[in-house]
Amino acid sequence: MSSDQDHLQETDTEARFEFKKEQNAAVKSDKGLTEEVIRMISEDKDEPDWMLERRLRALKQYQNMPMPTDWPGQPDLSELDIEEIVPYIRPDVDKREGVDDWTELPDEIKDTFDKLGIPEAEKNALSGVGAQYESEVVYQSMQEQWEEKGVIFMNMDRAVQEHPELVKEHFMTSCVPPSDNKFAALHGAVWSGGSFVYVPEGVTVEMPVQAYFRMNSEGMGQFEHTLIIAEEGSEVHYIEGCSAPQYGTHNLHSGGVEVFVGEDAHVQYSTVQNWSKNTFNLNTKRAIVEANGTMEWVSGSMGSKATMLYPCSILKGRGATDTHITIAFAGEGQDIDTGAKVYHNAPDTSSTIESKSISKDGGRTNYRGLVHIADGAENSSTAVECDALMFDNESTSDTMPYMEIEESKVDVAHEATVGKIGDEDIFYLQSRGLDDDDAKKMIVAGFIEPITEELPIEYAVELNRLIELEMEGSLG
């Protein structure tokens, strides 16, 4: 590829993530969290009384919980003022249905997602696509072949109305209750949008299901909720992408993810996040895995001012399996605190955690993980591997693994490495004709290969490109 083509591709990729649109909202809440704001959100969504009651209970729990400040080495949240956050903005589309025809979207929203490549991703034979803009899902489609097999893929607001029993049973009950942490309680009070995926027993969805979340407005919060129910013997791969433009004031992303993996079921959840560097990214993601079920988490975390994200799996049934593959990139002014949690609550369970992090220009990455093997979970095994790569002496990389082992008949392994890009490696590649920048890009590409090979090709290319731009300081 010529240098002109390289420049055009770089400009196009930057444009996809750094543009912003004038806000055109049908409904916008006041700032802060009050009972009046919660009631307004619920009323605008025409929600049943039981969901409003859950929101109000979560609000009380949120108000009674302190802000987390006592974790060793955690990101500084002192600049986050939730009372200055607008928790709900509904764009000018149908507040429940969204649309299922791309051409029906308002021009400014359609243009936004055209630049993000959402229609192109759908054309690449994805099983279903959902797109969220601000607080609402504005576009949703599902291939007919999967609908005919009983697969459900719709936005959470529709699911509350059309599948109330399924939602009532699973929504923020046993998996991520509002009492879990302050931001889970916040999420339970003001959640909006997100995806609902239901895969019936024995059905394999052979192509990925995709959702994209775009936060366009300044000073807002986005609180989408994703609920995935994979019945016995089913299989599905869900992919989400996230982005926001750069503003002068802080935004907040506090999503919630709940995954229920039935016996012998297999769920892969992949995330590529590129929030702007004024966004606090504070999520709660958790899966409950039944006997012989498999849960896979694959995530790439770039962007954001601060991230606290620790996907968790509770291995509830005998023979359940869990895998985490994560990559984090922190540049100047960023504190990316990520990791994984696994609870081995049954015998013969196994988990693997592979974490990769890159820090540059004084950025900080941290792996924070917990593996708990309960008494009686005999013959369980876990392997944790944390690798960190630093570009300079100003950057920081920490590893904080916690192991709680209550059973003696287990196999536990942990390995961590921290290294700086070596001059000898760069010199070797330069001797083969590469310049300094290309040599560093090649080293990083090899470093993150275990992540990218787990993603569909279009996402692997995007992840590599985003990291290249982060290395060049091209993304704001």
**394-445 pLDDT per residue, tens:** 888 888 999 999 999 999 998 877 776 666 666 667 677 777 777 776 777 7
| pLDDT at position 130 over 90 | no
Q: Between the CA atoms of 145, 258, 244 and 111, what dihedral angle is there, to the nearest 10 degrees?
A: 20
What is the structure's pLDDT at 276?
74
Backbone angles phi, psi at 453, to 5 degrees: -75, -10
Count of other CB atoms within 10 angstroms of residue 398 = 17
Backbone angles phi, psi at 20, to 5 degrees: -145, 155
Write the Ramachandran bin of 290: left for phi over 0, alpha for psi from -120 to 50, otherwise beta: beta
What is the structure's pLDDT at 251?
81
| pLDDT at position 99 over 50 | no
272 confidence band (pLDDT: 50, 70, 90): confident
DSSP string for residues in 110-165: HHHHHHHTHHHHHHTT-SEEEEEETTEEEEEEE-HHHHTTT-EEEEHHHHHHH-HH
- How confident is the model over 358-379, as a mean pLDDT? 94
| pLDDT at position 83 over 50 | yes
DSSP string for residues in 257-296: EEEEE-TT-EEEEEEEEEE-TTEEEE-EEEEEE-TT-EEE
**Nearest to 271, CA basis, from 314, 212, 359, 337:** 212
**8 Å CB contact between 299 and 328:** no
**8 Å CB contact between 357 and 447:** no
**8 Å CB contact between 322 and 293:** no
- Total domains in the fold of the chain: 1
Biggest CA–CA distance in the chain, Å, is: 69
**Nearest to 113, CA basis, from 19, 47, 194:** 19
**171: Cβ contacts below 8 Å, ≥ 6 apart:** 54, 225, 227, 258
User: Does the reported pTM lie above 0.85?
Assistant: no
Task: Give 195-240 pLDDT, tens digit per residue.
Answer: 899 999 999 988 778 776 665 545 567 888 999 999 999 999 988 8
335 confidence band (pLDDT: 50, 70, 90): very high
Q: Which residues pair with 281 in a beta bridge?
A: 253, 307
Percent of the chain with pLDDT over 90: 42
Is 153 or 163 the better-scoring residue by pLDDT? 163
**Nearest-angstrom CA–CA distance, 312 and 287:** 6
**Nearest-angstrom CA–CA distance, 405 and 224:** 34
> Residue with structure tokens 């049943």?
48
| pLDDT at position 16 over 90 | no
Containing structural domain, residue 165: 3-472
**40: Cβ contacts below 8 Å, ≥ 6 apart:** 29, 88
| pLDDT at position 156 over 80 | yes
Termini Cα distance of the chain: 26
Distance of CA 66 to the CA centre of its chain: 24
Tokens of 195: 């995806």
